[in-house]
Structure 1
Amino acid sequence: MGLFIPQQLLGQQTNLKGRVIHADGQPLFGAIIKVEGATQHWVTDSAGSFSLKVTGIHHRLTISHVGYKTASKHIDAGAGFIEIKLQPLNTQLAEVVVKDSHADDRRASESMNVEIVDKDFIRRNLGGSLMATLSRLPGIKTIGIGSGQSKPLIRGLGFNRVVVADKGIKHEGQQWGADHGLELDQFAAQEVEILKGAASFMYGADAIAGVVDVKPTLPPKANSVGGSIDLIGKTNNNLYGTSVNLYGRNKNWFFDSRISYQNYGDYAVPADTVFVYDYAVKLHNKRLRNTAGHETGLHLDAGFIGSKFRSVFYVSNVFSKSGFFANAHGLEPRRVDTLLHDRSSRDIQFPYQQVNHFKLINRSQYQAGRHLLQADLGYQHNFRQEYSQYVNHGYMPANYPDTMRIPQTLERQFDKHVYSINLRDKILLGSHELNLGVSAEHQNNNISGWSFLVPAFKQAAAGAYLYDKIRLNDTWLLHGAIRYDYSRINISGYSDWFLSEGTRLSRANSMSRTFNSLVWSAGANYTPGGVLSIKANIGKSFRVPIAKELAANGVNYHYFSYERGNPSLNAEQSYQADVSLNLNAGKWLVVLSPFYNYFPNYIYLNPTSAHDYFYGAGNQVFEYQQSRVMRYGGELQIRYQLTPAISAEALAEYLLSRQLSGAKEGYTLPFSPPPSVLFNLTYQTQGEGRSAKPYFSVDYRITAAQNNIVPPERKTPGSQLWNIQAGTQLKWFNRPLNLSLQVQNVFNTRYLNHTSFYRLIELPEAGRNIILSLKVPFGDSRL
């Protein structure tokens, strides 16, 4: 009888159930489980779970995943539920990227250059906006205006050449203007992933330069209720703000809410006089009059999380109101009422802007065997208004008519509704990881106001792609992708509301254009298992011309220029080669990332010798044209661990652009960032007693002069800048309190930023700024 039972078990099938998790306890999707002696292998689902049917009593399991150390485990039949934890490979840079398992996985499995930052990086490097915070990373810059508005540049390219995705949906505002910031709350950002290079094969049109992907926060752990309070203050513009988070979850259902508010005054520069087109403007208390503002963010995430199915709704509403520097926005600098503006540093007078961005997103996914099905549905409403005193040009009446239904102070209004859908399927087939998907988007943008620059339009786009990752062995990982996109834009005609020589002149004709493109990407990861790893990627991307480039016809008050669109523009094409060499040898870590980029038909705004007197009061005419453009450069990151607590780091970047044809042949491109290098020294150790993880960090950035310009740009002198970051984690009633301190521009240096909007009028960047932030959690902590 004693021999009968083992013999019976040896020939009987049993189920082995369990799950695979990250080192931080989160489930690990896509881990491969092999049983010694079996020809079949199993893959974990989105909950990290697996169920194996095996024959016999004793089994040896091998569990592997890209970016993790392979684990082996002996299991006996009837062992019950098994939990296996995989440890990440530790080959990451400190402060530039996060050291968590997800980040390791993404970098190891991508052939493109990827930077990943988490909430700790954001807290340590808080800027005036989320995009300004990310500008510490090599290859990332911003076009900034004032203290709260900025948009990203990736390797010198920005505006509609960079896709900003929020929770899987492409963020759509009025991102074509330098003064049009992105309506994103940096307090609500859990993790941000930056892809450098041609990424149209996954994200569609506009991802020529790369992608800034803002990830959703992780759901709370089961059966928990908690939250946190963030407090922040800044000395330069007397900013104060707070963000309150509250979350809760039972086994499957959860909610996560946040309210953020910031209020700031006019910001200070290390100068008492600036020159606006050669006119000397005196600054009261060295502050830029009318750059105050405030912003509010409301967020609610709620949904269901099961073992195979999850569905989450994300609702947000971000509102901001901020002034434009009164001496540099459509007003004659000599006519500014300085007594009115200088009475208070916190009031918002004309000219100013207010923007409200509402967003509703649903992300659902279902694990069906080897398939991970995902659907992202999104609706966005971007409502932007710019207010200013009435300024007449050309034949515009000297006095604003009483019969106009448009308010006299409403200069421009943009009202955009966007509907989006993304459908994806991730399939694991042996050594292949297939990703296939379709996406569609519809935009409807209406305009109003007494000033005209761009017409109303409707735009529809759809695309489909197939992306395959092939793991040949532990050393080689191959990538290949192909995508097709179709887009159609219908532009509404526009005629002046006033008479010009007895008739209402047409500023924009009705127009309909269609564009389509086939793009591709190919790459390889070589990881021999020693100190060296190499990634390479080549690809093609494209971008559809926007309404401004096709049909602009009016004064841009931010530039004192007259802009004219070109209805015959073709879709912009881009070819790029990207390499990343990673050397990890003991205390040294070196990452070199060169790239080459070629545009056969780059779209740019070309200044002409003409001046417009019908609409633009004699302003110089700028026209959109296309030319061949070549760009190359790269980033270099070097880190050395001096002691277990002290590290030194250097982050360098270089970019060269050249127009190969057209009216500006031989010149560079506008807003091309100059070479720069950031030296960092960091002290960080585990504290004892009431403190933990204290850190102190010093940044010293050297920026070269930018003499390689395209007229009418001006040359920008070089600069040297010091920043300090410090912080610690304190214990209070067994709760970790995160305290962070920054000193930006320590020595109050006067310098110009070549990628800043205000650099056009030789306006220096903000002076010394001391930032203090405190995060106080309460209730149950998150995983």
Structure 2
Amino acid sequence: MSITALAQQSTIHGTVVDANEKPLTHVLVMVADNNLHLYSDSLGHFHFNVAGGATYKMSFSRLGFKPLERVLTVKSAEEHVHVQMKIANNQLSEVQVKDRFADERKQTESMNVEVVSADFIQRNLGGSLMGTLSRLPGIKTIGIGSGQSKPLIRGLGFNRVVVTDKGIKHEGQQWGADHGLELDQFAAGEVELIKGAASFVYGSDAIGGVIDVKPALPPAANATGGFVDLIGKSNNNLLGTSVNVFSRKSNWFFDSRFTYQNYGDYRVPTDTVQVYNYPVTLNNNFLRNTAGRETGLHLNTGYISKNSRSVFYISNVYANSGFFANAHGLEPRRVNTEQYDQSNRDIMLPSQQVNHFKVINRSQLAIGKHLLQADLGYQHNFRQEFSQYVNHGYMPPDYPASMTIPVDLEREFNKKVYSLNLRDKLTLNNHEVTIGFNGEHQDNGISGWGFLVPAFNQTTAGIFAYDKFKLSDKVLLHAALRYDHGKLNTFRYTDWFPTEGENLVRADNLKRNFNSLVWSLGVNYTPNNPFSLKANVGKSFRMPIAKELSANGVNYHYFSYERGNPNLNPEQSYQADLTLAWSTARWNVQLSPFYNYFPNYIYLNPTADLDYLYGAGNQVFNYQESRVSRYGGELQVRYNIASALSVEVLGEYLYAEQLSGDKAGYTLPFSPPPSALFNLTYQPAKAGILISPYLSVDYRITAKQNNIVPPERETPGYHVWNIQAGAKLRAGSRLLNFSLQVQNVLNTRYLNHTSFYRLISLPEAGRNIILSVKVPFGRSNSQ
């Protein structure tokens, strides 16, 4: 006989709800032992049949809710189960969104372009924006103390480099080596650098390159907040802050910023400086009277919609700083060192004050295939240089009481600039055509008991057409043509004191008109492999400035007498640029050679004449023209050893030679020597509580510079170590950004060939520890 026993069948009924007892649909219910699975219905109900008297392990899961398990022993024919699930609050790891704007910008321009982000500026903060950018190959600065500097691109600077701020050409007193740029680096959102001539778009003065300073992006919609930047530097005891406050509804926004920096005299790694063979001792290595104060006020406001925007940018930047007391004027021996050394933070004579006020409106409108843009700008640059009155040459021994000019006002420059840029970018099939107009008018007044450059006004206007033609997915062609007209008027200046019985005329009325036609051709080749190529050839120009035409006075900073040449022609330049790039997952290599030829380079030529009318036998320098050949290049190599570890080499080389004139065979002033920067960076995604930490070490080797032009001196080579470190730290829902730099780690004594103070063999600043913190606040810190 066989006996079959059938187990009793039971049914499990259940309901799944959320924390508020609302039914949950589509919850996956699984019974592990029986391999059963089903989903809850629209009312949260489910049911299935099982054998009675057994124990079952049940699991419940649904996206957005915490998984749940239940163990149930079936004791009756029907079992009822009530399940409540809780919402899962999962915190995702940090997500980084990166755009390819910088890469695409490089790929679509035939010029050598570098795009510098705000993060780069934060990580490499220098004494000024130009000092911060000098880490890049091909970019150097003419340092003026600890707080100011002027840019050099491939050895060209002053009025051969255009600096634009929010689309408008920044106009200060850029012709002077001791005149820094009145730009607040905390207010820069991004900086684009063009190495090489770019006159076909930017007009006169872009013969050496362009530094385009762009504003921060408008705040995100419905955001209110800001940032507080704090900075401190050990070398000159700098303390500073920059406070940013922004708000935006859907279309209207404002973005404001206040910056203040206060610094003392800076230190150099030497206790004695030779000022034209006169030894000057330094008190505790401080350069007396190099302290300064800087403030910046900024307000950006405007309207943004899908197809249009109009933004006003208002800024006022003010700086008050001292000149190294022992290197100004003709009597460095007369400096009262005891009085200067009482404090390292006071600003005494000689000193300078500069105020730069700026109003810019940028408007854009997209209509069909047209993108219309208009930039309107007004600038007022007011600069004063103060010094104790000392009679030179035939100047009276005592300052006359009848003079209306203050006794300590050596020079004053008062410049007002009105600018207009118009552009229409048209996209038509494979063509992207830009047609534009640039116009500018300057009124330049002078005052002070010293004279170097006369008052003048200047008007320039230019039109251009620039076409980018997409020949294929791999080849992009460029062609540009531009015509410019300029007019410069300088005004008569007569000495306020007699020389041998008469007041001499230092500068007479002068009217000059200039015309120029320039062009550019380029190609981008980007195949579907690691290799890419860019090439560009073209012609550029530069109008001679008032100083080159009509200067006639002592430059006390250089102990020289400078004399202009009213017959100078517009400077012409022919250039060829090539960029070869190779990029893989681990390697990134870029080589950028260039060649540059000037038929009539304008330069300041030292002569055998000496001046005794206005100085103490200073050498006379005349502006002349010469044929010049220049070539060189930059090399950038980056290798990713691992995901968080990389090495980089940045190298640069420049050779310049005058081919005609009195200095044939010599180089050009401020020609930087070859140099290379070796970098090792460790940057993991996270390290404990630190987010995106980094540790970076720079080792810069600079060769000696023996290729000079008098009165320059040969500069020995040197090597310097720098360290950068930083991280983000979460404080609640916000990220604090910390960065630390140690510049000149070993306190190395070295001379910078492009420094303003190189003529007196003044070494660069000693060890400098820089700490900066960026603290966000508000409902949203997204910009």
1:537–1:577: 8 Å Cα contact kept in structure 2? Answer: yes
Q: Distance in 2 between matches of 1:689 and 1:135?
A: 33
State how far apart, in whole Å, the 2-side matches of 1:149 and 1:245 are: 23
CA displacement at 1:326 relative to structure 2: 0.1
Q: Could you tell me whether the CA contact under 8 Å between 1:258 and 1:298 is conserved in 2?
A: yes
The answer to whether structure 1 residue 268 and structure 2 residue 267 are counterparts is yes
Q: Is the 8 A contact 2:330 2:616 kept in 1?
A: no
Give how far 1:435 is off: 0.5
In structure 2, what is the equivalent of residue 594 of structure 1?
Answer: 593
1:489 aligned partner, one-letter code: L
Contact 1:554–1:616 at 8 Å: present in 2 too? no
Is the contact between residue 675 and residue 703 of structure 1 (CA under 8 Å) also seen in structure 2?
yes
Q: Which moved more, 1:584-593 or 1:702-711?
A: 584-593
**Partner of residue 488, structure 1:** 487
Secondary structure in 2 aligned to 1:642?
Answer: strand
Structure 2 counterpart SS, 1:615:
coil
**What is the DSSP-based 3-state SS (H/G/I as helix, E as strand, rest coil) of the residue aligned with 2:613?**
coil
CA deviation after TM superposition for structure 1 residue 395, in Å = 1.1
Partner letter of residue 237 of structure 1?
A: N
Q: Does 1:413 align with 2:412?
A: yes
Distance 1:567 1:688 in 2: 64
Deviation at 1:258?
Answer: 0.1
- CA deviation string 1:250-270 (max 9, x = no partner): 010000000000000000000
Amino acid at match of 1:228: F
Alignment coverage as a number of residue pairs: 687
Amino acid aligned to 1:445: N
**Is the CA contact 1:291–1:322 (under 8 Å) kept in the aligned structure 2?**
yes
Q: Which amino acid aligns with 1:379?
A: Y
Structure 1 unmatched runs, 5+: 1-89, 91-97
Shift of 1:689: 5.3
Query: In structure 2, how many angstroms separate the alpha carbons of the residues matched to 1:716 and 1:614?
Result: 33
| Residues 79-102 of structure 1, C-alpha deviations (whole Å, 9 max, x = no match) | xxxxxxxxxxx9xxxxxxx96322
Aligned to 1:646: 645
1:165 is the counterpart of 2:164: yes
Q: Check if 1:663 corresponds to 2:662.
A: yes
Aligned 1:113-262 pairs, distance under 5 A: 113-262=112-261
Which string of whole-angstrom CA distances, capped at 9 and with x for unpartnered residues, describes residues 346-375 of structure 1? 000000000000000000010100000000
CA contact (8 A) 2:330 2:559 kept: no
Aligned AA (1:657): A
Amino acid at match of 2:242: S
Offset at 1:308? 1.2
Letter in 2 for 1:585: T
The aligned amino acid for 2:175 is: W
- How far apart are residue 522 of structure 1 and its match? 0.5
Residue 503 of structure 1 and its aligned partner are, at CA, apart by 1.0
1:15 corresponds in structure 2 to none
SS of structure 1 residue aligned to 2:686: coil
Alignment of 1:544-559 (within 5 A): 544-559=543-558
2-side partners of 1:133 and 1:585: how far apart?
28
Correspondence for 2:305: 306
**Alpha-carbon distance change, 447 to 379 in structure 1, aligned in 2, over 3 angstroms:** same
- 1: CA distance between counterparts of 2:420 and 2:268? 44
Q: Which residue of 1 aligns with 2:60?
A: none
For 1:337, the equivalent position in structure 2 comes to: 336
8 Å contact from structure 1 (residues 245, 256) kept in 2: yes
Q: What do the CA deviations read for 1:630-689 (whole angstroms, capped 9, x no partner)? A: 000000011111011100000000000000000000000011000000000000011155
Shift of 1:334: 1.2
For residues 249-648 of structure 1, the aligned pairs below 5 Å read 249-648=248-647
The DSSP-based 3-state class of the residue aligned with 2:610 is strand
| 1:759 to 2:758 alignment | yes
Q: Determine the C-alpha separation between the residues in 1 that align with 2:578 and 2:677.
A: 21
Q: Secondary structure at the match of 1:366?
A: strand
Q: Which amino acid aligns with 1:622?
A: F
Partners of 1:504 and 1:333 in 2: CA distance: 28
> Aligned in 2, Cα 1:177/1:561: closer, same or farther, shift over 3 Å?
same
Distance 1:682 1:690 in 2: 20
Deviations 1:528-564, CA, capped at 9 Å, x for gaps: 1101000000111100000000000000000000000
Question: 1:20 maps to what in 2?
Answer: none
Match of 1:781 in 2: 781
CA deviations over 1:251-309 (Å, ceiling 9, x no partner): 10000000000000000000011100011100001000000001000000000001111
Number of the residue aligned with 1:727: 726
Which secondary structure state, in structure 1, belongs to the residue aligned with residue 178 of structure 2? coil
CA distance in 1, matches of 2:528, 2:347: 59
* C-alpha distance in 2 between matches for 1:401 and 1:180: 29
Deviation at 1:690, TM superposition (A): 2.9
2:522 and 2:537 in contact (8 A); partners too:
yes
For residue 121 of structure 1, give the secondary structure of its aligned residue in structure 2.
helix
**Alpha-carbon shift at residue 124 of structure 1 (Å):** 0.6
The SS at the match of 1:712 is coil
Distance in 1 separating the partners of 2:731 and 2:244: 18
Q: Is the 8 A contact 1:295 1:318 kept in 2?
A: yes
1:450 and 1:298 mapped to 2: Cα distance? 31
**Structure 2 residue matching 1:669: 3-state secondary structure:** coil
Q: State the SS of the aligned residue for 2:365.
A: strand
Amino acid in the other structure paired with 1:647: S
How far apart are the structure 1 equivalents of 2:521 and 2:684? 41
CA distance in structure 2 between the partners assigned to 1:423 and 1:659 by the alignment: 38
- What TM-score do the two structures reach when normalised by structure 2? 0.87
Quote how far apart the aligned CAs of 1:585 are.
2.9
CA contact (8 A) 2:687 2:693 kept: no
Give unpaired runs (5+ residues) of structure 2. 1-95
CA contact (8 A) 1:296 1:318 kept: yes
SS of alignment partner, residue 642 of structure 2: coil
CA drift of 1:217 comes to 1.1
The residue type equivalent to 1:393 in the other structure is H
Match of 1:77 in 2: none
Instruction: Give the partner amino acid of 1:230.
Output: D
* One-letter amino acid of the structure 2 residue matched with residue 107 of structure 1: K
Q: CA deviation at 1:331?
A: 4.3
CA distance in 2, matches of 1:367, 1:488: 34
RMSD: 1.0
How far apart are the structure 1 equivalents of 2:467 and 2:528? 23
Native 8 Å contact 2:110 2:522 kept in 1:
yes
1:689-704 alignment, distance < 5 Å: 690-704=689-703
Counterpart for residue 718 of structure 1: 717
1:166-192 alpha-carbon deviations (Å, 9 max, x no partner): 000000000100110000000000000
TM superposition score normalised by structure 1: 0.87
The structural deviation recorded for 1:242 is 0.1
Structure 1 residue 734, shift from structure 2 partner: 1.4
What is the deviation of 1:105?
Answer: 2.1
SS at match of 1:757: coil
Could you say what secondary structure the match of 2:757 adopts? Answer: helix
Contact 2:118–2:188 under 8 Å retained in 1: yes
> Which letter does structure 2 place at the counterpart of 1:452?
F
Letter aligned with residue 234 of structure 2 = T
Q: Report the Cα distance in structure 2 between the residues aligned to 1:242 and 1:216, rounded to whole angstroms.
A: 19
Q: Given residue 621 of structure 1, which amino acid in structure 2 is its aligned partner?
A: V
Structure whose CA Rg is larger = 2
